[in-house]
Structure 1
Amino acid sequence: MSEPVFGNPPNRFSNLRVRLTQRYTRRLDLGRGFREDRFLGPPGRLTTRLQLAHERRLQLALTLDKDPGEPLRWSPQTQTYGFDHITGSLALRDLGRLETLVLGDFTAQFGQGVALWQGLRFGKGRDPIAPAHKRGRGVRPYHSASETSFFRGAAATIGLPGELSLTAFASRRRRDASVDSSSAAGTGPLPVRTVSGGGQHRTPSELARKGTFGETTLGGALAYRRAGLHLGVTGYRARFSRPLRPGDRPYRRFRVTGDGTSMLGGYGTVFLGDYTVFGDVARSPRGSFGGLLGAALDGDYAEAVVVGRRYPPDFASFYGNAFGDGSRPQNEMGVYTGLQLQLAPKWSVGAYLDQYRAPWLQFNVPRPSTGWEARVVLDYAPRPRLSSYVQVRVQDEDEGTEYRRAGRSLEGLQRKRRYSTRWHTEYLFSDALTVRTRLELSLHTTPDARSNGFFLSQGLRWSPHPTLTADVRIAFFDTDGFPARIYAYEHDLRYSFSAPVFFDRGRRAYALVRYEPFSSLALEAKYGVPATTIERRLALA
């Protein structure tokens, strides 16, 4: 006899988890736009996030977000329904042969991201191994406050016999774009010059760009997985509601143009004990091939990775987001080598060297260019409660400049080099008190100029009670302008990421307090004070 449809409610809902997050932030020192009433809405940012999950099988997510300066209003003609940005999804997993089903907003990540990778990609950092070797997660529900890099529609992954799986997705969404009104009027819609990723709609001109570019995308992947071998093919076809016309500037020559685009690629990973060989290659509509090939070692005392990449100038991957120095896998060739060694029980060292070149022009770089970047990080942990590291980073590359010859201005290249040295230490006095200190120096040089930077911060985390935690920091900085800028990560509210950039002279202090009176309720508040109007922040939530 089969079980009744309606079982015991406590058993059916005992694993149901509901999480509601409400966040409000605003700058206290309002900029010129608010002082001069340029924006249509108030200066605060308001974000609401609702997540419901039942074990792994069911996930329901809804995110509502309003950026600073955007109004809260109901305006279907501008695609604004209360909040300016609304994203949501329903995901089902492990239902027989149906491995994953996502309705709503989702991302698709396959292989190393040469052909298709929606969502976040971490660049080069302290870890010399992880950024160079990615692991595609297939289709996943999307519930970020960011208004770019996702699909909207439906996606499903079905398990097939023979250790195969088939993924298919269909997406239709609208994005912000700048319409080229100077083009001659024809029978079709006006073309688009650039597709915007900022997602801000604070002024009438920004609202005019909202949702002017439509994308209809069909795609999928066929994957084969067994213990030591992962293989797959992926591809998509996208149609645009307006033709893309990036313009006639030389550096835009090979970007995606026309009424649509497509991509077809293959990827694979082979596991050989401690060694891994991986690769990803794709073909663009112009017939150009781009890809990467790498090998990694994962030993007890050593980790290493070597990755070679080749993305020709005419390899225009519209949804690609593979490893590289640039923001997209195009117009770049390079070799990356990373190494992590455990020198002794208390000592470890990590290092990488990335050498790259751009065979075609880039934005503000009027010639083919070359560059390299190296980083060495030495970690020392003499006690379980004390850790410290020293980091040295050097970046050397070409940048665009102008020369005066016979009274004429000529575009050319000059070499710039950035040095940075950081010392960071962290000590746990007790389970309730942690102290952090950081000192960083920077140097930026060109043939005609030299600028220096200095940054010093002191922070602590204090937890006087299991329900209460306070994280505070004060920082002082002094640089010779923006070229010698220094970045420093800050602890922030949950689901937020903050990495301010400091230049000129000033100080920065903040306090982050978390109070958790019950296991089902957490309250967080952050207060930051910049002591200079020149300090800029880059915050991604």
Structure 2
Amino acid sequence: MGLRKLHIALCISTLLLTYSIYAQNPPQGQIDTEKLVERLFPVQEEDLDYAAIYEVLFQLYSNPININLADAEILQASYLLNPSQINSIISYREKYGPFLSLYELQAVPDLSPETIQQILPFITLGNNGNSYSKGLIRRIIDEEQGYLLFRHRRVLETRKGFTTADSSSSGQPNSRYLGGPNDLYLRFRIQHARDFSLGITLDKDAGEQFIWDPKSNRYGFNFFSFHFTKYQVRNWKVISVGDYQVQFGQGLVFGAGYSLGKGAETVPTVRKSSVGILPYTAAMEFGFFRGLGATYQSGKWQGTIITSLAPRDGRSSLERDSLENVFETISSLSQSGLHRTASEISTKAKFREVSIGGNTQYSLSKKLSIGGNFLSTRFDKPWIKTPTVYNQFDFSGQSNWVGSFYFNYNWKNFFLFGETGISKSLGKGSVIGFITSLSKEFNLSMVWRNYDRDFHSLYGNSFSEGTRSINERGVYLGMEYQPTRQWKLNAYYDFFRFPWLRYRVYSPSKGFEWLARISYSPSKTLLTFIQLRTEQKERNLSDTGESAIPYLVSPIKKSNGMLSLEYQLSKQVFIRSRILGSRVEFNSEKSYGFMVLQDFQYARDNWKFTTRFALFDTDNYDNRQYAFENNVLWAFSVPAFSGQGMRYYFLGQYKFNTQLTAYFRFARTSYSDRDQIGSGLQTIDSSHITETTFLIRYMLHH
């Protein structure tokens, strides 16, 4: 033990010399949102709700991992460590016992100083200073990690929906938004890692009324969310009341509303971890459970129960049965969460959804665990979609159930995982794969999936090319090669088939996608990379007008490139320069797009400024360019740009004291190819669109 103490002392001395920012056992740092996005998020192409994805990840990171207790499954859930590093941590712990200091991580083989610096905000030794001699109410009152946050956002130009209504030819006034243009968001949150979490989220979108009207299910703010989660109540691992999400297995049944999938981080993100019940804190008005969820653990067994009664937005229609009886059905469920017009308000909380389910998990050993999921969902009205040529095998009816079996096995440096399930329709879904460290320099991942065209999982979100785990077969291969500290290569190839028809693809189809990124970082202050990506799918051609062949499909091939340079000039100044380009080939025609951007960031004392100037030029919407933007605290922005114009924004942050911090953001897009932006009630009669965001956060304690 004396030799170990000497080793720890040398590690602490080395780290103190290497990183002057580490004074004692380093406190939990703030999440670097930008780096998190660059590493983990999917390739920015589809119109995903990145804010909701980030909220789920934030819930994982806001409860630091106990480095002395975490098994391979929990360590992998962070997506920050490869299999070799995870096994090194576990082996070191088994050989020497619990870590005495976070600085001791320096002694773990395969953990570089850069990796240690990266994971420090998300780990703890377990002794987090929580005084359990106090009662729960006293702990909540005394908790340091409590805050109140208010955000205001507004588009300065007037959209058509906010203008005075004119009259149509029938003499009836056209639809207009009933509320004002202000977007309001309020959040209260108080939590202590691995002890409790209490939160309230209120949200009103632009165009929605701030009104108390129980008849239309509106109570001031348009959306209200609440949760109280308690950890470690005797053998109860988690008890959550209110709004929550669930993730077990590979997401076939319980997918927690997000999937990282394919991105520049090509190896660890393809595998999901069974993180269980998570508090729901996003402002999306669907995709969560509302009720009671609890996990009970006894020895190697773990059981979870899910109960939920949640309102769902949607539209109804009247149907007749064989006896000419009229009954109401659900024709569509809405996921926009917008209630701005009389028509949209009529959809709010129109239906009820009851969900009952659970999970059982058993750890056969430290390396092998198995589990099962089951979820039954019932609507208060039958859901019958308007039939189309491609949705014949989609879910239809009043109730659905889905069950699955999954496993996780850690064999040497191989993490093997898989899940297979079946739904009420008898459609099946399966996903199986592995991630591995073949050497210190080379990591590899593989995922195979097969989802039947009638596999129905309403809360699933497993690895897939489509937005749902249905009607797809595919194989993904990913690799990461880092021959030296300065150079790194990430790449993947994904081949997929769609056995049945899809939206805008009226025949069985197939496609592929590949990405390669070469990164060079000669020092901690300089990073440059080049990234190339190509995706090919099939899409309907325009109607030929010939009755015999009304639909033909043709491949559409999209290629994207990015060149990036990031340089930390000093502790105060950071710059980033990027060039993005794209080419689309469809029906023997080629089109192009590009974007160049320059970022500048300055931080000093209590101030922090970030600004961007960008130019873009695309031939069409298929060539739209996506670029992550800095935003106010816990807000997210990954806009798409098409046409010709420029984009610029300014973000300022000022910390008044330890309790009060304010943010202000001004962003404008100016187009040179149009005098009107948007369509319908979102139309703006201008060549530019401007958005301002103000946020203030008040910490309840010093």
Q: TM-score, normalised by structure 2?
A: 0.73
> Which of 210, 213, 223 matches 2:351?
213
Contiguous gaps of at least 5 residues in structure 1? none
Q: Which of residues 148, 152, 156 is equivalent to 1:24?
A: 152
Which structure is higher in helix share?
Answer: 2
1:172 corresponds in structure 2 to: 309
- Of 382, 386, 389 in structure 1, the residue corresponding to residue 526 of structure 2 is 386
Q: Which residue of 2 aligns with 1:509?
A: 648
Aligned 1:188-207 pairs, distance under 5 A: 189-207=327-345
Judging by fraction of residues, say which structure has more strand. Answer: 1
Structure 2: tracts of 5 or more residues without a match: 1-130, 166-175, 678-687, 696-702
Distance 1:422 1:536, change over 3 A: farther
Match of 2:194 among 53, 56, 61: 56
Secondary structure at the aligned position of 2:328 is classed as coil
Verify the 8 A CA contact 1:510 1:529 in the aligned structure 2: yes
1:457-503 alpha-carbon deviations (Å, 9 max, x no partner): 0011101x221101100100011121211111111112211111011
Mapped to 1, the partners of 2:480 and 2:185 lie a distance apart of 39
Q: Distance in 1 between matches of 2:599 and 2:341?
A: 38
Instruction: Tell me the secondary structure at the aligned position of residue 177 of structure 2.
Output: coil
Distance 2:597 2:451 in 1: 40
**Contact 2:156–2:691 (Cα < 8 Å) also in 1:** no
Partner of 1:443, secondary structure, is strand
Correspondence for 1:334: 474
In structure 1, distance between residues paired with 2:628 and 2:134: 50
Cross-structure match for 1:477: 616
**For the Cα contact (< 8 Å) 1:331–1:360, is it kept in 2?**
yes
The answer as to whether partners of 1:499 and 1:538 remain within 8 angstroms in 2 is: no
- The letter of the residue matching 1:138 is G
Of stretches 115-124 and 98-107 in structure 1, the one that deviates more from structure 2 is 115-124
Structure 1 residues 112-121 or 449-458, which shifts more?
Answer: 112-121
In structure 2, what is the Cα distance between the partners aligned to 1:219 and 1:483?
A: 41
Find the counterpart in structure 1 of residue 126 from structure 2: none
1:487 is aligned to: 626
Q: 1:126 to 1:488 in 2, by over 3 A?
A: same
Note if contact 2:319-2:326 (Cα within 8 Å) is conserved in structure 1.
Answer: no
* Matched residue SS, 1:59: strand
1:538/1:293 CA distance change after superposition, 3 Å: farther
Q: 1:348 and 1:8, CA in 2 relative to 1: closer, same or farther beyond 3 A?
A: closer
Asked if the contact 1:500–1:538 (Cα under 8 Å) also holds between the matched residues in 2, the reply is: no
User: How much does 1:236 deviate?
Assistant: 1.0
Q: Which moved more, 1:311-320 or 1:60-69?
A: 311-320
Query: In 2, are the aligned partners of 1:175 and 1:214 still within 8 Å (CA)?
Result: yes
Indicate the larger mover: 198-207 or 448-457. 448-457
- Residue 8 to residue 453, structure 1, CA distance change in 2 (3 Å): closer
Alignment of 1:129 onto 2:302:
no
Q: In 2, Cα distance between the equivalents of 1:30 and 1:123?
A: 38
Q: Is the Cα–Cα contact under 8 Å of residues 15 and 55 in structure 1 kept in the other structure? A: no
Output one character per residue of 1:338-385: Cα deviation in whole Å (capped at 9) or x when no partner. Answer: 101102221100001111010001111111111111110110011221
Cα distance in 2, alignment partners of residues 269 and 407 from structure 1: 52
Cα 1:227–1:186 shift into 2, 3 Å:
farther
Partner residue of 1:460 out of 594, 600, 616: 600
Quick check: 1:521 aligned with 2:663?
no
Alpha-carbon distance in structure 2 between the residues aligned to 1:430 and 1:274:
39
For 1:244, the aligned partner's letter is: W
8 Å CA contact 2:292–2:307 kept in 1: the answer is: yes
Q: What secondary structure does 1:404 align onto?
A: coil
Q: Deviations over 1:184-207 (max 9, x none)?
A: 797675111221110000000001
SS in 2 for 1:77: helix
Residues 10, 139 of structure 1: CA spacing in aligned structure 2 closer, same or farther, 3 A cutoff?
closer
Tell me, yes or no, if the aligned pair for 2:355 and 2:376 is still in contact at 8 Å.
Answer: yes
Q: Is the 8 A contact 1:498 1:538 kept in 2?
A: no
Structure 2 counterpart SS, 1:205 = helix
1:6-405 correspondence runs (5 A): 14-36=142-164, 38-161=176-299, 163-181=300-318, 189-225=327-363, 226-298=365-437, 299-404=439-544
Q: Within the alignment, does 1:446 sit opposite 2:586 as a pair?
A: yes
- What residue number does 2:105 align with? none
Using the alignment, how far apart are the partners of 1:508 and 1:461 within structure 2? 17
**Equivalent position SS for 2:155:** coil
Give the partner amino acid of 1:168. I
CA contact (8 A) 2:666 2:691 kept: no
Q: Deviations over 1:426-475 (max 9, x none)?
A: 00110000000010111111124221101000011101x22110110010
Task: Give secondary structure in 2 for the equivalent of 1:531.
Answer: strand
Q: Distance in 2 between matches of 1:270 and 1:351?
A: 25
Q: Please say which of residues 73-82 and 5-14 is displaced more in the overlay.
A: 5-14
TM-score (normalised: structure 1): 0.94
Q: CA separation in 2, counterparts of 1:121 and 1:537?
A: 31
Q: Is the 8 A contact 2:153 2:691 kept in 1?
A: no
Q: Identify if the C-alpha distance between structure 1 residues 199 and 97 changes in structure 2 by more than 3 Å, giving closer, same or farther.
A: same
- Cα 1:15–1:418, aligned 2, differ >3 Å: closer, same or farther? same
Once the two structures are superposed, residues 91-114 of structure 1 have per-residue CA deviations (whole angstroms, 9 ceiling, x without a partner) of 111111011000000101111101
Q: Select the residue among 422, 425, 435 that pairs with 2:565.
A: 425
Partner of 2:683: none
Change (3 A) 1:302 1:76: same
Deviations 1:275-333 (A, max 9, x none): 11100110111222211010111342121110000001011112111110111100000
Instruction: Please report how far the alpha carbon of residue 14 of structure 1 lies from its aligned counterpart in structure 2 after TM superposition.
Output: 4.6
Counterparts of 2:519 and 2:177, CA distance in 1: 47
**Cα deviations across residues 496-538 of structure 1 (Å, max 9, x unaligned)?**
1111101110000001111112222211111001112548999
Structure 2 match to 1:413: 553
Distance 1:348 1:245, change over 3 A: same
% identical aligned pairs: 28
SS at match of 2:569: strand
- The 10-residue stretch of structure 1 (438-447 or 181-190) with the greater mean CA deviation from structure 2: 181-190
1:89, 1:368 → 2: CA distance?
43
Amino acid paired to 1:438:
R
Partner Cα distance (1:8, 1:294) in 2: 42
Counterpart CA distance in 2 for 1:345 and 1:444 is: 35
The alpha carbon displacement at 1:4 in A equals: 13
Paired residue secondary structure (1:320): coil
Paired residues of 1:502 and 1:536 also in contact (CA < 8 A): no
